[in-house]
Structure 1
Amino acid sequence: MNKKYTYVWVSLIVLIFGIIVVPRIVDRLQSGTVVDMDRMNIVPQEKGLSYVLLNKVKRKVPSFQFINQDSLLISDKDYIGKVYVVEFFFTSCPSICPIMTENIVTLQNYFKDQPDFGVASFSITPDYDTPKVLKQYAKKYGITDIDWHLLTGNKEAVYDLANSGFNIFAAEMPDSPGGFEHSGLFALVDRQGYIRCRLDKFGNPIVYYRGAITREMGKNDYGEEEQISVLQEDIQKLLQE
């Protein structure tokens, strides 16, 4: 083919691409859909909250079975049909746990008339945190919701649930306050047992919510903002699903 005609055809194709395709790409960039739809670790949602993925599969709370502060056997099945918050804590924690508990008590009081709201607090010092100790802790901090279970049991099972089941770090560390290290994060679980979250302003999933910053504090020393307000909003969204 004559080179002249080849150049004409190439120019024509480029022109058509620019007229038809480029404006669409610009529109998607401006609306944020390119960013949102390219995320690998969430299921895009038209509205509501996103599902957290593991190997492209919706991440679900693994099976568990522990004893609560009333010496009752509680499992993941007891939470089916409820929207609940998950945390890992210990009663002798001298640092962030009291703040975390205060934050969840705030949520407990806000959702006091919601029978489908619950909390699962797993002790990372189960040898010390017996049902009796957990009962005293519940009384001290005003834990009254019958669906807020402070859970204790097999130590290995607790740490496996934290680090593998939820990817919420917890470990024994002698040099840390109280001899243990944990992240202070909250997970949010829907009625079917799936871990859910919202997207941040950049379209990234937050996955977990900061639990060691109160609304009154606003921010921590690292400039991270409190997320109890957004957690409260997201609990409400799941309760309305």
Structure 2
Amino acid sequence: MSKSIYIALDFPTWEESRQFLSENGLHEIPVKVGMELFYREGPRVIENLKENNHPVFLDLKLHDIPTTVMKAMSNLANLEVDMVNVHALGGSEMIKRAKEGLESGSNSSHQTKLIAVTILTSMDNETMNQEILLPGELEKNTVHFANLAKQSGADGVVCSVHEAQKIKDACGIAFSTVTPGIRLQQSGNDDQKRVATPGFARKNGADFLVIGRSITKAENPYEAYQQAVKEWETDGIIK
């Protein structure tokens, strides 16, 4: 098991998620729970995972007025997940209130990391400029949002592997980089545009990886997970 690699449980139900983990021998590994699963099953899916010793990244990408996000985070704090996230586009005040909610809602010494999403890995520079009407270069905007997140109390950001090292340079080594869009060496890109292998991610400043279909849709998910760990631990140099 690697504490740095989270498998994305992109399944519609807890039963399918449980079956996937159990049948493939993926016990106690870190997992990411996103909107699809959480909106169907609610907090009980987190409770079930924690009962089976799975570290959890709760990927809900909250983005609303500051007071609403603060109250939501206060409720989510009781789940005691490892990480939960908001959109950095919500602005400094929203991020600050999200952190406040996490801290005020916690009933124990457990500290949930607040992570801010910078630019989605499904976007490229053209999409950002022409559809979102956000001018400038994607990399510079990503680093800007990372700095904004850090100054507002976040513990790290979700970013593409390709911006991770720049964020480390700007925000410091202790500021966490969570990188989706990870594909094993033999996998395709699917709908992600800014992708990378685990080995490249390790060399380029990533702290945590989120891997979905390269493992969940693999012919042998257990072997695919072990391959991901091997690529991560050897910087992609597979002997």
Taking structure 1 as the reference length, what is the TM-score of the superposition?
Answer: 0.25
TM-score (norm: length of structure 2):
0.25
Q: Which of structures 1 and 2 has the larger relative contact order (alpha carbons within 8 angstroms, sep 6+)? A: 1
Structure (1/2) with the larger strand percentage: 1
Say which structure is richer in helix: 2
* Larger gyration radius, structure 1 or structure 2: 1
